[in-house]
Structure 1
Amino acid sequence: MPPNSGRASATLSPLRDDLDPGLRAFVEDLRQVSSQLELGVRRYASRRFITASALSHYLSGLRIPPWDLVADLITDVEEKRGPLTPGAEAALRELHRRASERDRGGRETQLLEARLAEADEETRRITTRQRALEEALLKRERRLKEVQARCQRLELRLEGEVLVHRGEVETWRGEYARLEEERSLLQEAVVHLREALAVAQAELAAAEDRCDRLENQLDELAAAPDGGELPWVTAMLEADRRPVPELVRAVGDLEQRTRAATAMDLVRSAGQSRSVEEVAGLLAALRREGWDGHARTALAAIAVAPAPLPAEPHRQRRRAP
């Protein structure tokens, strides 16, 4: 062993006398390589994340190290002292192979120990996860108790508030029902009044139109010679009772005198003042004579004929028992 191996050899015991010669040769070469690091067993074991006792067993010949560990040792030595000769590394590999073949039981032991280490690592990971889950569960259970207690307090408080304000709630419910009924009645009244207003507007337009026609007729009557007779005026005044044939002849006479507007007024007046059956006969007679425009005027006059206002719905409902 070289002089610079003092620190490593200080922690290693001598090799046993009964050690297999092949294994002894391998261990001696392994010790020679490791001594070049000038590190103690514990320090180098911590660097390679193995136990000091395991490394001590490897360097004492009690166990054969895996070749990966030997390769890591060679790499560490080469980083510090420079590369080994190809022959030295090859010789060490050959000694390791022979020792491994002779120590079959040791290899099985190493395999079992490796499996044990993996199982132990898995156990530690599971234990860590289990502790984390237990802590999380404990926190959630503690929070659940707090929330449940708060919910119970709020439930009791709500029950008390309901009892206190139950009378007020019933009062407001009655007021709401009354207002809702009044709102429904007002909505119906608005609809009926709008319809009645539309009818009144149509009637107003018809009445104003009639006033305009009567004013025109008065002007024409005033402009006629004294004692002069205007047949169409008589026909207009008697539009509600003259027979249909006479009305049709009066319309034709006015058309021949280019008084189409007056003829239209006559037809409109007759349509507003007669029954539906009479207006139907007037329409047929006008169409037979070719006066389709006057027939449409008579038909429109029926649509705007005055009608009574509808009764207010809310008043009727209030009279109902």
Structure 2
Amino acid sequence: MDDDLPPDVVALARALRDLFAGLCVSTRRYAARRAYDSSTVSRYLSGRRLPPWEFILNLLHDVGEARGSTPTTAAVDMLRTLHTAALESGSSPAHRTQLLERELAEADREARSAATRERWLEDTLQDREHRIRDLEMRNRELEARLAAAEANARLNEEIRELKEELARVRALHQQAEERCEQLERLLAETEETGLLPEPLTSDFRTPDFRPEADVHNNVVAAPGAPPLNTVYQFGHVNGSVTMITDTWQVDEEYVASVSVRLYDAHGQHLGNGLLFDAETVITADPGPNGFWLGPQGRAMSAGTDEWKVPVEPIEAQAFPPLKVLRLAEPVAFPDRSLAFEQRPTPGRQLLVSAHAMQGRYSCLLDVKGRSGDLLRASGEFVDGLVGAPAFSSAGALTGLVMDYSLAEERGLLLPVAALRTLTTVKLPD
């Protein structure tokens, strides 16, 4: 190599010579292999001319192929550093042009790599968006099917209840018609003979008879029961409300045992509540005009005819207007667990056996319909029944008395479904 070459050029030329030696071929043969000019290759290796970066990369890969290996990143970086230093040490415009061309090639490589990555990310993003839309559509379909299944179950339950009620009413209608025919015959005989008939005996009152329905929903008599022309026994609760005692399964003593009375700090009557378990009472909170207003109006204790213990509010809601009270100590809870009627139909009768201002009081309420989320009912409401639990004829909790009009004998009940909004108690599914 010439003595006047810059040190950086000499370092690059020596590195290329060492690398070329690994090929074990002449410059002429290598030039023919790569379609180079042999004299140009000799100038590159002697340092008299700076090679382009492409020549260095080709030589590096050719040596790796001859040795059966792949160039390492460290070797590539080392040669790139030597080539850059050699180009920067030269004053020729050609050297500067090579340096810029190499930088342009690297920038182009990075741009193409970024473009490839960009296209991959766009395709991946589009694929994920399609998958999300598919999942959302499937989710909506599942929700629609679930809602349809729930609505179908509710309708089937209502149909079953309505069929049972229709069978019962048909039986009552038939009994009433037959009773009218009997009375008409007796009246005709009395008019013809002028004699009074024998008094009606207990043969017309059979409290154990309950109508049943066959597979076609026709009313038939239960096995061993009297024929269908038997007249029902009628009973009365508190005078003006008439009930058919034979169709009722609810136990008034059980209703009374889970209906607790609430007292203020002075032992005065505040209202009623439901004994949900041995330590919890749930009551309807009537709002600003009710018994929860002011320090003297807070419920301080709860009890029945058998016990009375202090209570502490642990949860309150504005709407549905409910309050949960925790008993200071557990009390005896009936062995029979609570049952719940979620969808009472109009025409149902409910039993209340709780406390009024004057003491223990029981009455029947007739479900008239719904007003929003509340049940409308009519019956012998009296002062002090707020919060009293109301049970269906089958013995299931149907709602809590929330408000009423004494003059019009009508009121509003919170249905059992409202209790599901509470967080401190949980109703069974």
Q: TM-score range by the shorter chain?
A: 0.3 to 0.5
TM-score by length of 1: 0.32
Q: Which has the higher strand share?
A: 2
With normalisation by structure 2, the TM-score equals 0.25
Q: Between Structure 1 and Structure 2, whose CA radius of gyration is higher?
A: 1
